[in-house]
Homo-oligomer: A and B are copies of this chain.
């Protein structure tokens, strides 16, 4: 085979631990496709719409915590990857992006499927590589072998992220009929030996001393993977040291931390202002929390982050601590615990924590009361509450952007159920929510629920256009026939353009989409139907299922406003 260096390239990809690849059909990428499909250690799937393909890979990589490869042909195909690549970059999810290209001399020569693919993803990849089209010189072969090693290493170094390799290829693309390709070759693997960052004794001592100067300490977790060890140590810090922990649903705190802040946190609540703020994780959903912390700046704000790019979401960072949250908080707890053992129980001021938890409790009571009866008029907020209460333990919950993620953040996820929460909050786009959930469901045996509005659902319905839809996918579709969020916001709701240009009425239901995708379809238009149908919907048996909840946007807005106003 003429393209043996490409076969080696894929062989190294596999040896470096990449076990999954999503391929979009094309001719230019045929050598890559053939090597990927035939490699015994790589599982491949074919997805025609590259936009969806990349989000499916993202959903898989997010779940597997390992890089997934995507592979497409030359031309605009690569650009269809871009929305998912940007999401992966900001959400720090490893992807190996393999774009076939025509040899460079063909760019902009009016000869099909050729665009400027070099660096096509701009700053939204950790690095963009390009190999040569000719492999006759041994240095060129060395570059190919080195590049794939470099790319997978980089994707895996924290902060993880997408890495791009542009691969110009000359014809012929195909082996001869019945020609076998051989992976049994000397493919050199270059490994980066795992290392860890630690703080010097002096730095740590200084931190600890400063820490003990403060009474009012708030630990805020941004979007994070679920981590039981971290939950356990944070819980102990909160329990034993009067520290307050706060997190959105996507923070996956996993214990009884503050989570109803969207409901009770007012910008002028100075009694809740922390002296020391410690943050970790990626983005926060709650606009209320962000505004509060920006206005009520802590005296010191320590942010735990591994990457070099300075992130200052609350405009108050004073120290970047380049440690993993689990390492930092474990050491912090151990040292505080030892101090306590040595010096006896110190009297920490309890009032800060009480203020926060009194409000949390009040919010919880309000929430239970608000939802305790059936709604007078059926609406999506009540439906979501019902379903979130009914979610089985140990499932995954994907929250689509726009209203879904906000509703869910008001209601909160029961920390006792061990539910993992995901959302594309890297760019907060609606463009790949369905595909991401499909990717997740393809890479776990757990039930994967997606809470999604109609605009995000239909936008990405190509996520359901494939032969791989797994049984464990459950889509909760909130169909209010438009972008309901715009009716919720004061600005657009008062403009004459609301219907046509913000909410953008759309008339579709998901029934036909479900038929096409060959998934089970359930639809409810009132509360009792919801209760009945959700039994079937939540059942682990059967195929993928869509539960379409059709509501009226005006009623939804009234109910949600009432909810927020009456607290």
Q: Nearest Cβ in chain B — how far from A349, in angstroms?
A: 30
- Any chain B CB within 8 A of the CB of A342? no
Expressed in whole angstroms, the Cα–Cα distance for A312 and B276 within the complex equals 65
Q: When the two chains form the complex, which single residue of B116, B486, B507 contacts A124, counting CB atoms closer than 8 Å?
A: B116
Residues of B close to A111: CB separation below 8 A: 283, 290, 313
Q: When the two chains form the complex, which single residue of B33, B172, B429, B497 contacts A77, counting CB atoms closer than 8 Å?
A: B429
Q: Is the CB of A459 within 8 A of B458?
A: no
Q: Is the CB of B119 within 8 A of A459?
A: no
Q: Nearest Cβ in chain B — how far from A65, in angstroms?
A: 20
Contact with B along A56-92 (1 / 0, CB 8 A): 0000000000000000000111011011001100100
Q: When the two chains form the complex, which single residue of B34, B110, B459 contacts A497, counting CB atoms closer than 8 Å?
A: B34
Q: When the two chains form the complex, which single residue of B83, B174, B428, B483 contacts A25, counting CB atoms closer than 8 Å?
A: B483
Give the residue among A34, A490, A513 with the most B Cβ atoms within 10 A.
A34
Q: When the two chains form the complex, which single residue of B462, B504, B516 contacts A512, counting CB atoms closer than 8 Å?
A: B516
Contact with B along A14-43 (1 / 0, CB 8 A): 000000000101010010011001100000
Q: Is the CB of B108 within 8 A of A311?
A: yes
Q: Is the CB of A506 within 8 A of B80?
A: no
- Nearest B residue to A428 by beta-carbon distance? B112
| A: number of interface residues (CB 8 Å) | 88
- Any chain B CB within 8 A of the CB of A492? yes
Q: Is the CB of B90 within 8 A of A79?
A: no
Q: Is the CB of B80 within 8 A of A76?
A: no
Q: Is the CB of B48 within 8 A of A504?
A: yes
- Nearest B residue to A108 by beta-carbon distance? B309
Give the residue among A44, A75, A506 with the most B Cβ atoms within 10 A.
A75
- Any chain B CB within 8 A of the CB of A120? yes
Q: Is the CB of A501 within 8 A of B110?
A: no
- Any chain B CB within 8 A of the CB of A552? no
Describe A's contact surface by its main secondary structure: loop
Residues of B close to A545: CB separation below 8 A: none
Q: When the two chains form the complex, which single residue of B75, B122, B427 contacts A75, counting CB atoms closer than 8 Å?
A: B427
CB proximity to B under 8 Å, residues A419-438: 425, 427-429, 431
Residues of B close to A173: CB separation below 8 A: 491
Q: Is the CB of B122 within 8 A of A108?
A: no
Expressed in whole angstroms, the Cα–Cα distance for A415 and B126 within the complex equals 52
- Nearest B residue to A489 by beta-carbon distance? B27
- Any chain B CB within 8 A of the CB of A414? no
Q: Is the CB of A122 within 8 A of B120?
A: yes
Q: Is the CB of B75 within 8 A of A429?
A: yes
Q: When the two chains form the complex, which single residue of B80, B86, B459 contacts A462, counting CB atoms closer than 8 Å?
A: B459
CB proximity to B under 8 Å, residues A283-311: 283-284, 290, 309, 311
Contact with B along A93-124 (1 / 0, CB 8 A): 00000000000000011111111100110111
Q: Is the CB of A123 within 8 A of B112?
A: no
Q: When the two chains form the complex, which single residue of B83, B459, B490, B501 contacts A79, counting CB atoms closer than 8 Å?
A: B83
Q: Given A75-B428, A87-B76, A504-B25, is A495 in contact with B122 using a C-beta cutoff of 8 Å?
A: no
Q: When the two chains form the complex, which single residue of B113, B176, B483, B492 contacts A174, counting CB atoms closer than 8 Å?
A: B492
Q: Is the CB of B309 within 8 A of A425?
A: no
Residues of B close to A492: CB separation below 8 A: 27, 30, 174
Expressed in whole angstroms, the Cα–Cα distance for A333 and B110 within the complex equals 27
Residues of B close to A120: CB separation below 8 A: 122
Q: Given A51-B80, A80-B431, A428-B113, is A177 in contact with B283 using a C-beta cutoff of 8 Å?
A: no
- Nearest B residue to A106 by beta-carbon distance? B313
Given contacts A110-B284, A122-B122, 14 further A-B contacts (CB under 8 A): A51-B80, A76-B87, A80-B82, A109-B311, A110-B222, A110-B283, A111-B283, A112-B427, A113-B429, A116-B122, A120-B122, A174-B495, A461-B461, A508-B516
Q: List 13 A-B residue pairs with CB atoms under 8 Å apart, sorted by A's residue number.
A: A25-B501, A27-B486, A30-B491, A48-B455, A48-B506, A79-B79, A90-B110, A108-B311, A112-B425, A174-B491, A458-B462, A458-B465, A507-B518
Q: Which 9 A-B pairs give the minimum distances between C-beta atoms? A: A174-B491, A512-B512, A112-B428, A76-B429, A79-B82, A177-B494, A76-B83, A110-B283, A116-B123
